[in-house]
Chain A
Amino acid sequence: MQTAVFFAIAAIAVASALGLIVRRNPIHGALFLVVNLGSVAAIYLMLNAQFLAAAQVIIYAGAIMVLFVFAIMVLIPGKEETGPDPLRPFRLVAIPFGAFLLVEILLMLVVRPAPPREPPGAEGGAEAIGRLLFTDYLFPFELTSVLLLAALVGVLALAKRKA
């Protein structure tokens, strides 16, 4: 049962990621990214990371995607990306490198023994995460708030029209 659910969610995640790449229209890409973020939140739930799943939906699918859609609507870049790609010859170089990486991954899967299947009980609820965040990781937590403030000031300085 769990395996079937995992494969369904993984298929949705990979398919939406591919959709993001294939569709040239950025607004379609943003909507595919919402699907991808939702499936990743489901993956977090399967990994017992309930708090992260909630944070993923609220912050990513809520805040970031609104920002993206807003920017795309303002910029209207729908008519961009036309004409031949000037970098097309370089794509041929990607084929041997990609094949090499694929062989490497397959080799790892065959040679390495499987890690333990039964995970130990690590519960990622809000209480456990919060306790860790305000004890062991208090300094990085405060640094993050400084970073967010810096980003806020920077964005305001960038977006302000010249006086």
Chain B
Amino acid sequence: MGLQAYLLLAAAVFAIGLFGVLTRRNAVGILLGIELMLNAVNINLVAFSRFNGDLAGMVFALFTIAITVAEVAVGLAIVIVIFRVRKTVEADRLDLLKG
């Protein structure tokens, strides 16, 4: 398969994830969409790494995975704290900072 096919797949998954982030109203759903987007980026990194014959992209994909773990852990902890305080995880109703 050519490089283009992988890039198109990554673009499609990224766009779907972005749509999810923008339309979901549940904070956990938004985090799920972010996971999709990060995965699409990883597909891009690995595909470019493979087709350029340079392993650096795969190493960076590994870093991305590690950073994603930290992001999900902190994000879910924040969501749980918000739920404990406000009794909701609906993003539209969390407008405490809205002027």
Interface residue ranges, A against B (CB under 8 Å): 2-3, 6, 10, 13-14, 17-18, 20-21, 26, 29-30, 33, 36-37, 40, 43-44, 46-49, 51-52, 55-56, 59-60, 63-64, 67-68, 71-72, 74-75, 77, 80-81, 85-87, 105, 109, 114-117, 119-122, 124, 128-129, 132-133, 136-137, 140, 144, 147-148, 150-152, 154-155, 158-159
Q: How far is the CA of A20 from the CA of B33 in the complex (A)?
A: 8
Interface string of B44-61 (1 = CB under 8 A from A): 001101111111101101
Chain B residues in 8 Å Cβ range of A115: 2-4, 51
A121 and B59 in contact (CB under 8 A), knowing A68-B72, A148-B66? Answer: no
Chain A residues in 8 Å Cβ range of B31: 68
Interface residues on B, range: 35 or more
Partner of B59, one of A44, A109, A137: A137
Q: How far is the CA of A35 from the CA of B3 in the complex (A)?
A: 23
Let me know if A77 and B12 touch, CB within 8 A: no
Known: A21-B20, A81-B25, A132-B56. 10 other contacts (CB 8 A): A17-B17, A46-B1, A48-B50, A60-B39, A80-B90, A81-B29, A119-B51, A120-B51, A158-B74, A158-B77
Q: How far is the CA of A56 from the CA of B66 in the complex (A)?
A: 10
Partner of B47, one of A47, A63, A116, A147: A47
A sample of 12 inter-chain contacts (CB < 8 A) reads: A3-B1, A29-B32, A43-B6, A49-B61, A56-B65, A64-B72, A71-B79, A77-B28, A80-B88, A124-B58, A144-B66, A151-B69
Let me know if B69 and A124 touch, CB within 8 A: no
Interface residue ranges, B against A (CB under 8 Å): 1-6, 8-9, 11-13, 16-17, 19-20, 23-26, 28-29, 31-33, 35-36, 39, 42-43, 46-47, 49-56, 58-59, 61-63, 65-74, 76-81, 83, 88-90, 92
